[in-house]
Amino acid sequence: MNNAFIRNSILSGELGNVELIQSMIKEPGFSSREFMSASGGIFRDVNVHDFDLQRFIAGCEPKRVYALGRNLFSDVAKEFKVFDTNTITLEFESGAIGNITTSMRCTFGYDMRIEVHGSNKTYKHENIGPNNVEYWDETGRHKTNAHRHF
């Protein structure tokens, strides 16, 4: 629903021309060794969804893709010769630039966000937790935590 809202604001002209799309994904780790043996790694298992989302928002295809991956912490990822951390830059046909950053280490659950910057506005869609209630008190701003698992 939130991503459709962003896309519709682009189609209506409200956001203006899409200039930057940034997706940030952090997950609480890899699945089992059995899953890892067939998953294809972080690019194929996780980032394929971000490619689809960025294409949907941009309304066009990327003409160039640049990727950099690292294995910074996961012995399971090393065993299967896949990365646990990466960044991807997409250059869209429209001229917009997309960026996807991913880490398979997140100690508090799933952390998934997207920001779309246009010539008129910027939209930001953050984590969806059990609820979206925020409150402020003398200690600061508070929100519910992100989902541990889906």
Tokens of 4: 């459709």
Q: Report CA dihedral (23, 28, 30, 32) to the nearest 10 degrees.
A: -140
pLDDT digits (tens, 9 = 90+) for 99-139: 999 999 988 788 889 999 999 999 988 876 666 666 677 78
Instruction: Give the model's pLDDT for residue 29.
Output: 82
Q: How far apart are CA 93 and CA 97, in angstroms?
A: 9
The pLDDT-based confidence of 24 (bands split at 50, 70, 90) is very high
Q: pLDDT digits over 39-75, tens only?
A: 888 999 899 999 999 999 999 999 999 999 999 999 9
| Domain 2-143, CATH among 3.40.190.10, 3.40.50.620, 3.40.50.300, 3.30.360.10 | 3.30.360.10
pLDDT of residue 38: 82
Pairing of strands 97-103, 85-92: antiparallel
**Per-domain boundaries in the chain:** 2-143
Q: Among 21-30, 36-45, 94-103, which stretch is predicted with the lowest mean pLDDT? A: 36-45
Residue 3's pLDDT is: 87
Coil, helix or strand at residue 89: strand
Residue 2: helix, strand or coil by DSSP? Answer: helix
